[in-house]
């Protein structure tokens, strides 16, 4: 069997087409170099099936002649194990970010060390009692005690209410994110839609790179809210388990939401649940402040036996119930100032010490949250870089490829030109005698 | 740094991330410089913040003690000055009685002496009613009640309780003197103390009989001498309190100095070190910006024709 006349033209054409596809893909990569979630694409080429030709002199066994190149597929450069690592780290990083941000707000509410925080109000209160002890019958000194007490109580109230506000805002944020129009619902329904489209394309034998990129991007997004576990199905769709929800959030095109999560869900939602719970870090800070307040209330009231100075039991409820005329300065019916002096002597006592411990507790909480945050952030950057290293677009690399593909295209064109010349001489020169 | 395939986005993000982190550091240092404090939130140094809170409480306590010392010193000074006046009047009475008891004075002289003694008695009672800041300093803890008033005669109206000032942790000091030990409760009580003695002297002088002159000589001079001794005792007590207050004031100042130094060590920024760090960070920031500008700009495209 001899070689068909136009085989060379077809071979050169396949080379032109492969180079063109490669150049187009390079163009796509360059265009999307900065698109979030874009995965670098490559053209996978393979040899065309060869044709068998017989030996020219009928003495050999014949041989196989290559017939050019075939574009097998255009695929995404993606490592799904890096995706798993990235999403797990994204969950912890977003958890740490949320914790640090919210706890910092609590710290701002406490406003220490400063000259107008609770510490200075407490000191001013004790000092007003000392002045009263020095001049027990002075009405001005009595009024000063009442005023200092009221300022102290109001400062306790406002610090406590600011802390509780941060706590309840965390709960509201959780409700917004998980609500009917919240991010979870939106991401999940988009992923479910994409699942359907991808499954359809896959069954048609296509590789829907763009849809896959979009779905991966949404899964990254979802992993910031709570931990996700993604299972690939044979039809190209994914099943997604979300946080510690009982049923998979997405199964094929089905979305099961809302579901109950706990703080073990991780991510932003887990952190918000933990922060809004009364046993969470903010709840603990609030109850520590309540302890300081109740220590102040009970120690002062114990020294005002017939008429309690403070009412309330916690930082949010503390208020001055005494008036200037009901303050007891002395335990005996005769005048004196032993009670006033005893209250003044509470300065630097257990209430002040509890408060200093409370400040340390707040500081330690924020410091720990911040250092967790910065560690988590650097880990996320590191894994993100690894993933980028596989999937990201390097313009230098694309430019190099572009030159390579351009040269290949030009070479294929040259081959075609040569064949043309050869055929030309065959047809015009060899046939000119006819 | 991860070694492998480096993409354009990685380079950009790396540069941006580094610039951000240097800027973050710069902001922190700037806050330290502008507030002069290295602890601006408890999280900057939780232990230090809690220590600063405690030291501030201590300092507030010390300033309360300083107020108490100042107040106590004013009390003792008022008491000292009153007692000194009483002492000089008492000596004048003593001189008058010595003069009257030698029997050479005429009845009119004695009457004149009696009237001077009466006036001195009133003046002594006036001194006993000295007030500081609206409080009677010789009434014990009944500071709202005058110890002696014309309405209640010579009977002591105060109590014998101690008025104290807290001058340190668990350290209180009596700043008043019990003047009833000196003045007593007048003629009616017959306690032989100063007011009783003065009234008796006055009536002895007014009657002018030889028996009364003898009483002056034998009993009243003796009573006056006893009163003088008691007065000296009171003056010594008050003086000692004043000395202790001065000592306490010095001690509190020392404590304030050391607490303030400790507070400054805890929460104040080391300006020299912070300034140096700031210059370094700024240099690093400029370098990062310049390097970033160069790195991000150059690519293979610059060299392809």
Q: What percent of chain B has pLDDT over 90?
A: 55
CB contact under 8 A, B68 and A134: yes
Give the mean model confidence (pLDDT) for residues A282-306: 94
Q: Which chain A residues are Cβ-neighbours of B47 within 8 angstroms? A: 360, 363
Q: How far apart are CA A369 and CA B176, in angstroms?
A: 57
Q: Does A217 score more than 80 pLDDT?
A: yes
Give the mean model confidence (pLDDT) for residues B72-83: 94
Contact B57, B169 (CB under 8 A): no
Is B141 near chain A, with CB under 8 Å? yes
Q: How far apart are CA B305 and CA B298, in angstroms?
A: 15
Q: Range with the lowest mean pLDDT among A60-69, A226-235, A279-288, B129-138?
A: A60-69
CA B49 to chain centre: 28
Please provide the average confidence, as pLDDT, over all residues in chain A: 91
Q: Which of residues 350 through 409 in chain A touch B, CB cutoff 8 A? A: 352-353, 355-357, 359-367, 370, 381-382, 384-386, 388-390, 392-397, 399-400, 403
What ipTM did this prediction achieve?
A: 0.82
Q: How far apart are CA A75 and CA A387, in angstroms?
A: 16
Q: Which chain A residues are Cβ-neighbours of B14 within 8 angstroms? A: 385
* CA–CA distances in Å: residue A340 to residues A85, A128, A344: 64, 9, 6
Q: How far apart are CA A139 and CA A132, in angstroms?
A: 9
Give the mean model confidence (pLDDT) for residues A132-139: 88
Residue A425, CB half-sphere, CA atoms under 13 Å: how many? Answer: 5
Q: Range with the lowest mean pLDDT among A3-12, A251-260, A287-296, B210-219?
A: B210-219
pLDDT of res. A333: 65
**B192-247 tens-digit pLDDT:** 889 999 999 999 888 888 888 888 888 888 999 999 999 999 999 999 999 999 99
Is B25 near chain A, with CB under 8 Å? no
Among residues A200, A408, A156, A174, which one has the least CA distance to residue A295? A156
CB contact under 8 A, B2 and A348: no
pLDDT of res. A58: 65
Q: What phi, psi does A116 have (nearest 5°)?
A: -130, 20
pLDDT of res. B283: 94
CA A129 to chain centre: 52
Query: Measured between CA atoms, how close is A219 to chain B, in angstroms?
Result: 21
DSSP at B37: B
pLDDT of res. B1: 47
pLDDT of res. A208: 92
Return all residues near A9 (Cβ < 8 A) that are at least 6 apart: A416, A419, A420
pLDDT of res. A432: 63
Give the mean model confidence (pLDDT) for residues B32-46: 91
CB contact under 8 A, B2 and A386: yes
Residue B302, CB half-sphere, CA atoms under 13 Å: how many? Answer: 6
Q: Which chain A residues are Cβ-neighbours of B67 within 8 angstroms? A: 127, 130-131, 134
**Between these two residues, A280 and B190, which has the higher pLDDT value?**
A280
Q: What phi, psi does A69 have (nearest 5°)?
A: -115, 150
**Between these two residues, A2 and B128, which has the higher pLDDT value?**
B128
Q: What percent of chain A has pLDDT over 70?
A: 97
CA-based end-to-end distance of chain B: 32
Q: How far apart are CA A150 and CA A148, in angstroms?
A: 5
**A50-78 tens-digit pLDDT:** 988 877 666 777 788 899 999 999 999 99
**A350-382 tens-digit pLDDT:** 999 999 999 999 999 999 999 999 999 999 999
Q: How far apart are CA A49 and CA A67, in angstroms?
A: 7
Q: Does B5 score more than 90 pLDDT?
A: no
Name the residue in chain B with its Cα closest to that of A370.
B43
Name the residue in chain A with its Cα closest to that of B4.
A389
Which bin fits A277, alpha (ψ -120 to 50), beta or left (φ > 0)?
Answer: beta
Q: What phi, psi does B134 have (nearest 5°)?
A: 80, 5
State how beta strands A63-65 and A69-76 pair.
Answer: unpaired
Q: Does B279 score more than 90 pLDDT?
A: yes
Is B3 near chain A, with CB under 8 Å? no
**What token pair was written down for B61?**
């306590």
* CA–CA distances in Å: residue B290 to residues A395, B19, B278, B287: 21, 10, 18, 5
Q: Does B256 score more than 90 pLDDT?
A: yes
Q: Which chain A residues are Cβ-neighbours of B164 within 8 angstroms? A: 341
Among B47, B142, B299, select the one facing A335 at the smallest CB separation: B142
Q: What pTM does this model have?
A: 0.82
**B285-295 tens-digit pLDDT:** 999 898 888 87
pLDDT of res. B264: 92
């Amino acid at each position: 069997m001899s070689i068909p006349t136009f085989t060379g033209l077809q071979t050169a054409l396949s080379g032109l087409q492969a180079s063109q596809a490669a150049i187009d893909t390079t163009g796509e990569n360059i265009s999307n170099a900065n698109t979030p979630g874009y995965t670098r694409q490559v053209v996978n080429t393979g040899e065309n099936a060869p044709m068998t030709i017989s030996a020219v002199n009928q003495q050999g066994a014949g041989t196989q002649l290559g017939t050019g190149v075939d574009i097998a597929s255009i695929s995404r450069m993606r490592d799904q194990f890096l995706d798993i690592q990235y999403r797990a780290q994204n969950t912890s990083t977003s958890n740490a970010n949320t914790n640090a941000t919210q706890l910092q707000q609590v710290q701002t509410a406490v406003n220490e060390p400063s000259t107008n925080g609770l510490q200075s109000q407490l000191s001013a209160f004790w000092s007003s009692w000392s002045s009263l002890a020095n001049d027990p019958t002075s009405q001005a000194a009595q009024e000063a005690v009442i005023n200092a007490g009221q300022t102290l109580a109001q400062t306790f109230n406002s610090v406590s209410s600011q802390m509780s506000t941060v706590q309840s805002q965390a709960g509201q944020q959780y409700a917004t994110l998980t609500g009917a129009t919240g991010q979870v619902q939106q991401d999940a329904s988009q992923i479910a839609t994409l699942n359907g489209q991808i499954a359809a394309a896959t069954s048609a034998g296509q590789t829907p790179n763009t849809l896959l990129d979009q779905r991966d991007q949404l899964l990254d997004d979802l992993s910031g809210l709570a931990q996700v576990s993604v299972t690939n199905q044979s039809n190209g769709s994914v099943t997604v388990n979300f946080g510690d929800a009982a049923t998979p959030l997405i199964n094929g095109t089905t979305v099961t939401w809302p579901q109950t999560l706990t703080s073990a869900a991780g991510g932003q939602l887990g952190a918000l649940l933990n922060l809004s719970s009364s046993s969470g870090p903010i709840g603990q800070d609030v109850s520590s402040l309540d302890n300081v307040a109740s220590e102040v209330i009970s120690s002062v009231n114990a020294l005002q036996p017939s008429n309690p100075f403070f009412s309330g039991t916690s930082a949010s409820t503390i208020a001055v119930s005494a008036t200037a005329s009901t303050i007891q300065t002395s335990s005996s019916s005769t005048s004196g100032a032993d009670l006033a002096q005893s209250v003044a002597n509470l300065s630097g006592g257990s209430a002040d010490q509890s408060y200093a411990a409370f400040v340390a507790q707040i500081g330690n909480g924020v410091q720990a949250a911040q250092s967790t945050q910065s560690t988590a952030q650097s880990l996320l950057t590191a894994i993100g870089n690894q993933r980028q290293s596989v999937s990201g677009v390097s313009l230098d690399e694309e430019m190099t490829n572009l030159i390579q593909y351009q040269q290949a295209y030009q070479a294929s064109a040259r081959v075609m030109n040569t064949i043309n010349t050869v055929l030309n001489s065959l047809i015009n020169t060899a046939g000119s005698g006819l | 740094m991860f070694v492998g395939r480096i993409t354009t986005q990685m380079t950009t993000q790396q540069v941006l991330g580094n610039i951000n982190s240097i800027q973050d550091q710069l902001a922190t240092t700037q806050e330290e410089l502008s507030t002069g404090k290295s602890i601006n939130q408890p999280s900057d140094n939780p232990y230090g913040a809690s220590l600063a809170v405690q030291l501030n409480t201590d300092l507030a306590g010390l300033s309360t003690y300083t107020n108490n010392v100042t107040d106590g010193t004013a009390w003792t000074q008022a008491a000292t000055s009153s007692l000194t006046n009483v002492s000089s009047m008492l000596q004048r009475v003593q001189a008058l009685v010595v003069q009257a008891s030698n029997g050479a004075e005429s009845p009119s002289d004695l009457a004149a002496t009696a009237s001077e003694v009466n006036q001195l008695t009133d003046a002594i009672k006036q001194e006993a009613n000295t007030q500081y800041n609206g409080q009677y300093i010789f009434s014990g803890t009944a500071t709202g009640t005058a110890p002696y008033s014309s309405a209640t005669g010579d009977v002591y109206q105060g109590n014998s309780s101690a008025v104290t000032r807290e001058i340190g942790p668990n350290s209180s000091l009596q700043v008043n003197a019990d003047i009833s030990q000196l003045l007593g409760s007048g003629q009616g009580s017959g306690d032989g103390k100063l007011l009783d003695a003065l009234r008796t002297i006055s009536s002895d002088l007014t009657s002018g009989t030889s028996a009364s002159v003898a009483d002056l000589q034998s009993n009243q001079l003796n009573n006056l001498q006893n009163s003088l001794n008691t007065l000296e005792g009171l003056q010594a007590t008050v003086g000692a309190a004043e000395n202790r207050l001065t000592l306490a004031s010095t001690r509190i100042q020392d404590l304030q100095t050391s607490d303030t130094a400790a507070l400054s060590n805890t929460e104040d920024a080391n300006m020299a070190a912070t300034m140096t760090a700031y210059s370094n960070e700024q240099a690093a920031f400029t370098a990062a910006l310049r390097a970033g500008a160069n790195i991000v700009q150059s690519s293979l495209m610059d060299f392809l024709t």
